[in-house]
Amino acid sequence: MKIFCPKCQSKYEVDNQYSGMNVECPNCKTSFKVNDMSRIENIEDKVNSFIEKMTLDDQDGSVLQKTYRKVEKLLTKNETIEYIALQKKLLFNIAPDSIVLTNRRIIILNVGILGTVNIWDVIWRDLIDAKLNIGILRASITLHTRKGTCFIGNLLKTPASRAYAILQEQEERTAEERRQREIEEKRAAAGGVVINTPQELQWGNSSTPQGDGIAAMRQLKDMLDAGLITQGEYESKRQSLLSRF
């Protein structure tokens, strides 16, 4: 069976009799338990399949593999890589930068010629806007975030377009989440009123005095103007209040 060290990622092949036993990595001397090795092999297969799909976008498989392994070490629990777009510079492409999109954030790797790596990342919630510029030979992506602006150029057109599509989807999703949070904050500032049923509004019942009903109508209109309720909700609650006068 094939196993790998969880610390240094060195791979080995051992007899099945070691299943469930603790072994020591000859390379880094880390002790670890040999558990479900078939699952480890499946993970490797999935990674290779994922990288192979990205090579169909005319990206270098060996560079994708190296980039994936670098970013893999940065991932938090349950964070997964969704796409990688590599630079392909027109002249020297020895150490290309890359933009990596996970299910939680955007990561940009700036790789130096000597192997140094500078990492810039931002969570999806902080993405404000993404711009794609497709030139004659290459494309570029500009990110406007709450952390500032970041730019990556010399991307092939297809990988850049695929990355941009994911950025747009996430931008729309985070914008909607942001809008919902703002509505909840406004509702909380207005006293925590939630539009559901007339009883939950606690604006009274059929015995509510007319003065209270008029005040409730004004409050309802204020909530509409503040964007706390929709026009449809406003009309429904307004008719309900009018029927009580």
Q: What is the pLDDT of residues 25-41, one digit of tens each?
A: 888 888 877 776 545 56
Tokens 């994911």 belong to residue: 166
Burial 205-226 (b: 16+ CB within 10 A, else e): eeeeeeeebeebbebbeebbee
Q: What is the pLDDT of residues 136-189, one digit of tens each?
A: 999 999 999 999 999 999 999 999 999 999 999 988 888 888 788 888 877 777
> What's the pTM value of the predicted model, to 2 decimals?
0.60
Handedness of CA 221, 226, 230, 231 (dihedral sign): positive
Task: Compute mean pLDDT per 10 residues along the chain, 245 residues long, and list them.
Answer: 74 77 85 66 78 92 91 90 92 85 94 83 92 94 93 94 93 82 76 48 47 73 76 78 69
